[in-house]
Amino acid sequence: MRPMQDARHYTTTPKYSGKVLVQGTEDYERCRRMNPSADTPDRFPREIHLPESPSDVSQALKRAAQLKTTVGVRSSGHIMNFPGAIQDGILIDTLNLNRRIEYDPVSQEICFGPACRVEELAAKLKEVNRFFPHGHAPTVGSAGFLLAGGQGWFVRGWGATSQTWITKIEMVVPDGRTVIASRTENQDLFWAARGSGLAFFAVVTRFWGRTIERSNMWETILKFEINSANYLPLMTWAIERGRDTPKYGTDLNMTIDYPEKYDPKYTTDEAPKHGKLQMTLNILCYCDTLREAQTLLGAYEKFTPEVRDALVRLEPVQPRTFEFVFDRKRGFLGNGKQERWQINSIMNDPKVPLDQLLTAIKPCMLELPTRTTSVFLCHCDIIPNEEDAALSLPQDLYISTITGWSDPALEPAIYQPMIERYRRAFPVAIGQYITELDVNKEEANCRVLSDTALAKFLKIREKWDPQVLFPNYKALVKTHDKMAQLEKRNAHL
């Protein structure tokens, strides 16, 4: 029986009565449910540990071994299916673990703990007049973001954040030791940590990342009415204009949703009966002057007649701040009230022609089950180097639908429509972003690492965690086996 969710807001700085919370107490349940989605799975760890130092983490791992159980880790709770909550296991919540940010003016590196939030990093970087490509959503925790690879700001040219910006990582490994991993020390751990996400088999306690001099952010916004009739030409135009845009220093994002999503007059989850979907392009760049910005974003000034007819609003290139974008993101997802969220996603196979891709994902883009559901698409242009990191699938376009609702009576039926639509799109996908691997619903999952990267990861994991203290890697194996069987079956059809 699911406990009733109260109206308490999700906060990034909750206070609890101690470092170890046990099942049956008010603080335990409040902590377990401290996620941006009110839809917390019915899995109950035996204890929740809130370490403040590596030695506290070591004690938590020893406690798990003593209890003969396993460990999950949470940095902010933005992975909506909550893989850190393992039934009867130990949940290590890194909320207070090295929750500080330091900048070294000599090395020009920033150092921070696993639960330091995106908005906290942005504030420190502004203070020291530097840039580091943290995430886009203000309350996301650093460890979840970086272990997944990191689709950070201006990722297109500068690479995933853990690929090209992280220089070393401090972590507590399963035997309780604190070690440093980098390109010159414990290289296998450094390789495995960057891209394995929920499957990683240690607890990160600190990151170090290089920074560059701060510049200026600029944005142009284009809004269109989108429907079944103009979907193909409009989406084709938007994606091709992105491919015409220089990679370095640009951040290209698309959303599709109902304007009524944010209208306070609407209080139900139902999609508006006569609602018209809108596609919004938030096109940003990072450079010194307005003149440079207008040049970088100039591809979006070229309209075809059909695209111009769909145009609802155009905002010219103008200055932006990270704080402005964060405030906009707060209204999009994760207010921590009664909202409940499910994310389904794919990354396209770059070899699949664009028209074939757009036809396959059309139901995911236009058949939104609720008023608060949104589509999100961004140009990533991440080219992986599997020799350097576990991050191993090319990320051309990241495509997702975020189903939102508030009435728990809609569950479990609400999950299935988008799961099915994305399953039908698997043939045009190279895989999915590892943060969306759903430990609750295997049918929603597809490949998250290449076969060779997964094989290498499993060997490294066996070396460092032979007792399987961290079991979530099994979800990757199960999904990859499933996809291999599907692909083999399809090859014989």
Q: Is the pLDDT of residue 175 over 70?
A: yes
Tokens 């236009």, located at residue: 366
Mean pLDDT of the chain: 95
Q: In what order do the strands lie in the sheet with 429-431?
A: 311-320, 216-225, 278-287, 250-257, 374-382, 395-405, 340-348, 429-431
In this prediction, residue 342 carries a pLDDT of: 94
Residue 291, pLDDT above cutoff 70: yes
Helix (H, G, I), strand (E, B) or coil at 136: coil
Task: Specify the DSSP element, H or E, that contains 72.
Answer: strand 71-74
Q: How do residues 401-447 score in pLDDT, each as one tens digit?
A: 999 999 999 999 999 999 999 999 999 999 999 999 999 999 999 99
Chain centre distance of CA 284: 19
Minimum mean pLDDT among 173-182, 222-231, 336-345: which range? Answer: 336-345
CA dist 68 to 63, 71, 282, 468, Å? Answer: 8, 10, 49, 11
Domains parsed from the chain with CATH numbers: 20-93 (3.30.43.10), 101-213 (3.30.465.10), 216-444 (3.40.462.20), 451-491 (no CATH)
pLDDT at 264: 83
The C-alpha atoms of residue 311 and residue 279 are separated, in whole angstroms, by 9
pLDDT exceeds cutoff 60 at 3 = no
Q: How many residues does the chain have?
A: 493
Q: Residue 181: CB partners within 8 Å, gap ≥ 6?
A: 168, 169, 170, 171, 187, 189, 190, 193
Instruction: Determine the pLDDT at residue 339.
Output: 87
What's residue 490's pLDDT?
75
Tell me, what's the pLDDT at 338?
76
Q: Does residue 107 sit in helix, strand or coil?
A: coil
Ordered strands of the 20-22 beta sheet: 20-22, 47-49, 90-93, 71-74
Q: What is the DSSP code string of 346-388?
A: EEE-TTS-HHHHHHHHHHHHH--SSTT-EEEEEEEEE---TTT
Two tokens, residue 84: 């850190």
Q: What is the pLDDT of residue 482?
A: 94
Which pLDDT score is estimated for 491?
74
Cis status, amide bond into 384, omega within 30 of 0 = no
Cα separation, 283 vs 249, whole angstroms: 11
User: Is the pLDDT reported for residue 478 higher than 80?
Assistant: yes
Q: What amino acid is encoded at 193 in this protein? A: A
Measured at the alpha carbon of residue 47, what is the angle toward residues 46 and 52, in degrees to the nearest 5? Answer: 160
pLDDT range class, residue 487, cuts 50, 70, 90: confident
| The pLDDT value given to residue 88 | 98
- Given this model, what pLDDT does residue 486 score? 85
Distance between CA atoms of 357 and 396, rounded to whole angstroms? 12
Q: Which residues contact 459 (CB under 8 A, 6 or more apart)?
A: none
Q: Is the pLDDT of residue 493 over 90?
A: no
Q: Count Cβ atoms within 10 A of the Cβ of residue 423 and give its class: 0-12 exposed, 13-18 middle, 19 or more buried.
A: middle
Residue 335, pLDDT above cutoff 80: no
Average pLDDT (71-95) is 97
CA distances to 88, 275, 295, 308, 364 from 300, in Å: 53, 26, 10, 11, 24
Residue 266 confidence (pLDDT): 86
In a 3-state reduction of DSSP, which class is residue 9? coil
23-27, 118-122, 327-331: segment of lowest average pLDDT: 327-331
Reported as a pLDDT band with limits 50, 70 and 90, residue 161 is very high
pLDDT more than 70, % of the chain: 97
pLDDT digits (tens, 9 = 90+) for 351-408: 999 999 999 999 999 999 999 999 999 999 999 999 999 999 999 999 999 999 999 9
Identify each DSSP E strand in 239-389 by its residue range. 250-257, 278-287, 311-320, 340-348, 374-382
Global pTM value: 0.95
